[in-house]
Amino acid sequence: MSVRVLFFGFLAERAGAPEKRYEAVTDTNALEAMVAGEIEGLQEYSYIVSVNRQAIRGNTPLNDGDEVAFLPPFAGG
């Protein structure tokens, strides 16, 4: 069981890499807890989480091969 996790904007800088792989993680709450252990102060930042390119609300189960992204507020234009 492995998920691909993408970080964008300043979160890519804080994470130290734009992409990481996490093993044995069953839902997004568990994943956020793991990521929070690597990005100091993650809870203080504004961001949304997407699973397979769809923004999620609340805890979401993860399956092998899912693509999860941590997205800071959009700033296009």
Partner 1 sequence: MSRERYLVQGAVTHAMIGETVGADATGDTAGAISVFAGQVRADVFDGRTVAAIEYSSYEAMLKEAVAGIREVIFNAFSDVKTVTIIHSTGVVKAGEISLLVVVTAGHRDQAMRACTHTVELVKEKLPVWKKEIFEDESHRWV
Q: Beta strand pairing status for 48-51 and 67-71?
A: antiparallel
Q: Name the residue nearer to partner 1 (CB basis): 7 or 31.
A: 7
Q: Identify which of 9, 19, 12, 6 has the alpha carbon closest to the alpha carbon of residue 49.
A: 6
Binding site for partner 1 (CB under 8 A): 6, 8-10, 12-13, 50, 53, 69, 71-72, 74-77
Least distance between partner 1 and beta carbon 24 (Å): 25
Q: Name the residue nearer to partner 1 (CB basis): 8 or 22.
A: 8
Least distance between partner 1 and beta carbon 77 (Å): 5
Q: Name the residue nearer to partner 1 (CB basis): 29 or 50.
A: 50
